[in-house]
Amino acid sequence: MAVLNTNTIYLTLDGYDLKARFKTVKISPKNNSQDTTAGSGVTHVQSAAGLDEYGWDMDFVWDTTYIANDLRKLKPGNQVTADFGPDSNTSGRPRMRQLIQIDECPFEVDVEKKTVVMSVKAHGAEAPEVNLFDGGKF
């Protein structure tokens, strides 16, 4: 069994490369199931698949060399195309490419001089162009 244990991700937002400053990337797929329960004497809830949605949580270190450009991309309200490969962008490897909307980008500066990290929360703004959950690849 080959287990993924790497940090060689591929990540761009509108072609802007952020992989050198990433700490974490988390994609949260969700299906909003629909209650279809009906009928006399039914004893269990019945449901069917509803609309899919994808949450994106990404943490980036604050690098003073790139911060002005990073903040322009990560500004809440922006819609950007995220192109992500959990283990690089090598041909045949899993890929997720989706227009996402940045919801928030908080960060904290601490007296203890901890690394400043921007914790970006975003959501899919439309269906993925390439969906790794459907077998999407580079």
Per-residue pLDDT tens over the stretch 57-113: 999 999 999 999 999 999 999 999 999 999 999 999 999 999 999 999 999 999 999
Domain covering 10-30+52-134: architecture:
Beta Barrel (2.40)
Res 2: pLDDT:
77
Res 85: pLDDT:
96
- DSSP, collapsed to helix, strand or coil, labels residue 16 as strand
Res 136: pLDDT:
98
Where do the structural domains in the chain lie, given as residue ranges? 10-30+52-134
- Tally the residues of the chain: 138
Per-residue pLDDT tens over the stretch 25-61: 999 999 999 999 999 999 999 999 999 999 999 999 9
**What predicted TM-score, i.e. pTM, was given to this entire model?**
0.90
Q: Cα–Cα–Cα angle for 117, 121, 125, nearest 5°?
A: 145
- The span from the CA of 118 to the CA of 109, in Å, is 10
User: Does residue 138 surpass a pLDDT of 80?
Assistant: yes
What's the distance, Cα to Cα, between the start and end of the chain in Å? 22
